[in-house]
């Protein structure tokens, strides 16, 4: 069965509630009736009570950029999975490279968050990717394998169906330096082979692997032409309804 593509917007720490509402008001009519791909928005947690109701009944899902692995507790500044679900969020990013880089998230933490998301029926998008020095040192494959194994530890094939992976080479994020479609597809093949080893061929064949890192309206078509690429995680170019629509409708 072909994998249905997912095009996701990572808004990072941008937009006020009013700006988020303006985006959704403009965006939903532009993508109305678009069923070829799944669409999801990932705003800051304070925007969820605006964006979730605004997207209700539409073809656009809404999720968090991060969740804590604990159900609840004394974790100042964090958001729990129960809080996400209570406001209607259905998806979450996990282990984005900015979380790994600035907030010291390790593969072990990513793994705990993945288990929490799966337990609560929230669709996890697990982000992995190498930094420039690792690519230049020829370590990309081993880094990706380590990240996949770390993230998926203890996940059974039966539980793995909802998982989405986002391959985001760190050197391509926010730099305007996109991986070529071939570089991205090679990395995706490495990741899928590792998932095959861990969870079996059926799970791996069904698992969506998105590409992220300077995806723009003018490079999405070539990226999506690669059979290995099952969608995109888009930062900068997702902030304007017109450019994100152009990406969704590549």
* 231 strand-pairing partners: 6
Binding residue (CB under 6 A) for ligand PGA from 235, 241, 245, 248: 235
In the block, tokens 């888009």 appear at 234
Binding residue (CB under 6 A) for ligand PGA from 105, 168, 228, 230: 168
Is 7 one of the binding residues for ligand PGA (CB under 6 A)?
A: no
Which of 247, 241, 250 is CA-nearest to residue 30? 241
- Applying CB under 6 A, the span of 51-59, 101-109, 182-190, 229-237 interacting with ligand PGA comes to 229-237
In the block, tokens 């791996």 appear at 204
| Catalytically annotated residues | 96, 168
Is 129 one of the binding residues for ligand PGA (CB under 6 A)?
A: no
**CA 101 to mean position of chain CA atoms:** 16
Is 213 one of the binding residues for ligand PGA (CB under 6 A)?
A: yes
Element (DSSP H or E) covering residue 9 = strand 6-10
Q: Which two tokens stand for residue 162?
A: 């909802």
In the block, tokens 């990741």 appear at 191
What angle do helix axes 140-152 and 181-199 make, rounded to 10 degrees? 40
Closest residue to ligand PGA, judged by C-beta, is: 235
Considering beta carbons, is residue 1 or 13 the nearer one to ligand PGA? 13
Is 233 one of the binding residues for ligand PGA (CB under 6 A)?
A: yes
Considering beta carbons, is residue 117 or 234 the nearer one to ligand PGA? 234
Per CB under 6 A, residues contacting ligand PGA are: 10, 168, 173-174, 212-215, 233-237
């Amino acid at each position: 069965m072909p994998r249905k593509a997912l095009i996701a917007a990572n808004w990072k720490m941008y937009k006020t509630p009013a700006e988020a509402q303006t985006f959704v008001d403009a965006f939903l009519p532009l993508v109305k009736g678009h069923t070829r791909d799944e669409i999801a928005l990932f705003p800051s947690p304070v925007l969820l009570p605006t964006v979730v109701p605004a997207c209700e009944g539409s073809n656009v899902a809404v999720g968090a950029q991060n969740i804590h692995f604990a159900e609840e507790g004394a974790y100042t500044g964090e958001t729990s999975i129960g809080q996400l679900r209570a406001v209607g969020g259905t998806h979450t990013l996990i282990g984005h490279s900015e979380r790994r880089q600035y907030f010291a998230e390790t593969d072990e933490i990513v793994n705990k968050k993945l288990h929490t998301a799966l337990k609560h029926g929230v669709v996890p998008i697990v982000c992995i990717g190498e930094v420039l020095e690792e690519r230049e040192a020829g370590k990309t494959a081993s880094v990706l394998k380590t990240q996949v194994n770390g993230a998926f530890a203890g996940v059974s094939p039966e539980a793995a169906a909802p998982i989405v992976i986002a391959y985001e080479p760190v050197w391509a994020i926010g730099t305007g330096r996109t991986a070529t479609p071939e570089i991205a597809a090679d990395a995706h093949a490495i990741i899928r082979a590792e998932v095959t080893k861990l969870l079996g061929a059926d799970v791996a064949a069904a698992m969506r692997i998105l590409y992220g890192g300077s995806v723009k309206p003018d490079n999405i078509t070539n990226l999506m032409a690669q059979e290995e690429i099952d969608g995109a995680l888009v930062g900068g170019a997702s902030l304007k309804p017109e450019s994100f629509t152009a990406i969704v409708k590549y």
